[in-house]
């Protein structure tokens, strides 16, 4: 591949201003630009949040997300376009966000914040508040995100179990299951955390059967993709008290529609797909792009290559 230019696509705006990435990549030995309507060609690399048909004319597309489920990877393969993703950069932000959700539920912080709005000084019933130590968390997906969660949860003294495609052992999980044993894995866990990709196999994976296998005092935390969860089944499970609550950063439709019952539920925390973001996101993306520009010029294999 003969690279002549790196184009920062304006789709990155959903996370950061394209200009900060152009600046962060200014040390590259080739032009880095963010034109309004780029005329892409074989010498171009594109850095983007989401796909665009014009990218099929470029040589290499770098997705600034770990999840590339929106990209038409078969068309890229047919057109000979290389796709790389940004797995590897979200472990700290997601790990801290998920600890935040768990601590919020355990210590009742969401409830007290709601009462503060009404200047209400009211305690929770004695049996309500708990601590995280010795509580079990089941982490479904033990890659970058799941490892960030598992490492921090075990540091707090939580009992960490996991699920991953391979079923391979993990240094911060007491036991690891394969996906076919999801029901067994979630049983007895106070928190079930979703940190796996959206694929044909994982779409709708978390269903009524999963909620039935969970404890009625347990919480679902989804920081992966909305479509991994059957949303209707989740709403019913919350309404029926099958589970105690949920923290949701991702949704089948984003932004979450105003009509969704999830907005109204006191036991649901909604965050706008920000659990993986910090103000150094563009620097982490720049490091990945810089590494792969160097590799291309050295004729080496690319890191994080999808297609
Ligand atoms: P990784 O590739 O590092 O890890 C993926 C993990 O999921 C691996 O442990 C893999 O198993 C496991 N896995 C794959 N398929 C299944 C399955 N069917 N059942 C159970 N486990 C499975 O990805 P990341 O951790 O970087 O990202 C994961 C996903 O999280 C992304 O695809 C994206 O959708 C989402 N994401 C969301 C963010 C947010 O802002 N909310 C931020 C970043 C990512 P094995 O280890 O055996 O291969
Ligand atoms: C950042 C989201 C990913 O897959 O969806 C995330 O990496 C990124 C707003």
Domain boundaries defined on the chain:
5-89+278-298, 91-270
Q: Mind listing the pLDDT tens digit for each residue in 98-155?
A: 999 999 999 999 999 999 999 999 999 999 999 999 899 999 999 999 999 999 999 9
Average pLDDT over residues 238-264: 98
Tell me the pairing of strands 191-194 and 5-8.
unpaired
**At 8, is the pLDDT very low, low, confident or very high (cuts 50, 70, 90)?**
very high
Q: For this structure, is 225 an active site residue?
A: yes
pLDDT per position as a tens digit, 175-208: 999 999 999 999 999 999 999 999 999 999 999 9
- Is 124 a residue of the active site? no
pLDDT confidence of 298, banded at 50, 70, 90?
very high
**Atom 14 in ligand 1: which residue has the minimum CA distance?**
165
Strand partners, 191: 137, 219
Task: Compute the distance from residue 142 Cα to the ligand 1 centre, in Å.
Answer: 7
Q: Quick one: which of 255, 253, 196 has its CA closest to 221?
A: 196
DSSP class of 157: T
State whether the beta carbon of 93 lies less than 6 angstroms from ligand 1.
no
177 is catalytic: no
Check if 206 has its Cβ closer than 6 Å to any atom of ligand 2: no
Q: In CATH terms, are 5-89+278-298 and 91-270 the same topology? A: yes
What is the fold of 5-89+278-298? Rossmann fold (3.40.50)
- Mean local confidence (pLDDT), 10-29: 98
Q: Which of 254, 294, 300, 305 is catalytic?
A: 254
Check residue 226 and give its pLDDT: 99
pLDDT band at 94 (very low <50, low <70, confident <90, very high): very high
Please name the residues in contact with 107: beta carbons below 8 A apart, sequence gap of 6 or more.
129, 131
ipTM of the complex: 0.99
- In order, the DSSP letters of 271-304 are --S-TT--TTHHHHHHHHHHHHHHHHHHTPPPTT
Q: How far is CA 195 from CA 57, 150, 249, in A?
A: 33, 11, 11
Q: Is the previous residue joined to 255 through a cis bond, with omega within 30 degrees of 0?
A: yes
SS3 23: helix
In tens, the pLDDT along 28-48 reads 999 999 999 999 999 999 999
For the segment 161-183, the average pLDDT, to the nearest whole number, is 98
Q: Is the CB of 276 under 6 A from ligand 1?
A: yes
Segment 16-38 mean pLDDT: 97
Q: What is the CATH number of domain 91-270?
A: 3.40.50.720
Q: What would the mean pLDDT of 63-82 be, rounded to a whole number?
A: 98
Give mean pLDDT, residues 238-257.
98
What distance in Å separates the CA atoms of residue 198 and residue 193, rounded to the nearest whole number? Answer: 14
Q: Which helix (H) or strand (E) holds 61?
A: strand 60-63
Contact 108, 131 (CB under 8 A): no
């Amino acid at each position: 591949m003969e690279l002549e230019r790196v184009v920062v696509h304006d789709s990155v705006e959903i996370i950061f201003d394209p200009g900060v990435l152009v600046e962060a990549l200014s040390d590259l030995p080739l032009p880095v630009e963010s034109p309004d309507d780029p005329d892409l060609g074989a010498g171009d690399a594109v850095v983007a949040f989401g796909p665009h048909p014009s990218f099929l004319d470029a040589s290499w597309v770098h997705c600034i997300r770990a999840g590339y489920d929106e990209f038409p990877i078969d068309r890229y393969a047919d057109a000979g376009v290389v796709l790389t993703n940004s797995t590897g950069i979200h472990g700290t932000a997601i790990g801290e966000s998920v600890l935040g959700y768990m601590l919020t539920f355990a210590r009742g912080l969401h409830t007290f914040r709601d009462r503060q709005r009404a200047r209400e000084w009211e305690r929770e019933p004695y049996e309500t508040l708990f601590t995280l130590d010795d509580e079990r968390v089941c982490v479904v997906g033990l890659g970058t995100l799941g490892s960030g969660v598992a490492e921090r949860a075990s540091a707090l003294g939580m009992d960490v179990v996991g699920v991953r495609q391979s079923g391979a052992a993990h240094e911060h999980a007491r036991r690891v299951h394969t996906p076919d044993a999801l029901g067994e894995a979630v049983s007895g866990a106070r928190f079930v955390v979703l940190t796996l990709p959206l694929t044909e196999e994982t779409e709708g994976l978390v269903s009524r059967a999963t909620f039935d296998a969970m404890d009625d005092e347990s919480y679902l935390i989804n920081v992966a993709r909305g479509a991994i969860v059957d949303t209707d089944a989740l709403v019913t499970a919350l309404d029926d008290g099958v589970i105690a609550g949920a923290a949701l950063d991702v949704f089948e439709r984003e932004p979450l529609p105003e009509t969704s019952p999830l907005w109204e539920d006191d036991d649901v925390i909604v965050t706008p797909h920000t659990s993986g973001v910090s103000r150094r996101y563009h620097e982490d993306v720049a490091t990945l792009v810089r590494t792969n520009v160097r590799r291309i010029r050295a004729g080496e294999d690319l890191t994080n290559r999808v297609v």
